[in-house]
Amino acid sequence: MRYWLVKSEPDVFNFADQMALGPHGAEWHGIRNYQARNNMRLMAVGDLAFFYHSNIGKEIVGICEVVGTSHPDSTTDDPRWDCADIRGIRPMPVPVTLQMCKTDPRLSGMVLVNNTRLSVQPVAPDEWAVICQMGGLRE
């Protein structure tokens, strides 16, 4: 069981859009970066992921669950690109901002803080717990 963080620009696809897809979710398509793709290939059903709004908001706004493992990206014929399937689970009671993550010394090693450009990234279990707490969730 792993933890992840996925980024989306909320004016293109936000967490409400993700929740609106329902319990079966949808593929997390459009990823054209090897590192991000490799992370998606590691996703297992039942893994959890934070949903992060990049550019606008710059905050973790919800929690998702992996419901399907890696398969070819339906939005391209290029065989290099795969994606996993994801559904929305619940919004964060309190969005956790990038600023909060940068400020908290317990999160100083987070990929979100140190590698701004990676759009699908792993989250360490202790980081997951800290952010859930900050976001008003008991986890």
**121 and 113 in contact (C-beta within 8 Å)?**
no
> Cβ of residue 64: shortest distance to DNA, in angstroms?
16
**Please, which residues bridge with residue 82 across strands?**
72
> Cβ of residue 44: shortest distance to DNA, in angstroms?
23
> Cβ of residue 79: shortest distance to DNA, in angstroms?
13
- The residue ranges that bind DNA (CB under 7 A) are 7, 9, 32-35, 54-55, 58, 98-99, 102, 114-119
Three-state DSSP at 34 gives helix
**Of residues 57 and 72, the one with the C-beta less far from DNA:** 57
**Of residues 10 and 88, the one with the C-beta less far from DNA:** 10
- Quick one: how far is CA 50 from the chain centroid? 4
**Of residues 71 and 102, the one with the C-beta less far from DNA:** 102
Classify the C-alpha dihedral 23-32-91-125 as positive or negative.
positive
**Of residues 21 and 118, the one with the C-beta less far from DNA:** 118
Q: In angstroms, rounded to a whole number, what is the distance separating the alpha carbons of residues 59 and 89?
A: 17
Query: Between the CA of residue 47 and those of 9, 28, 60, what are the distances in Å?
Result: 22, 14, 17
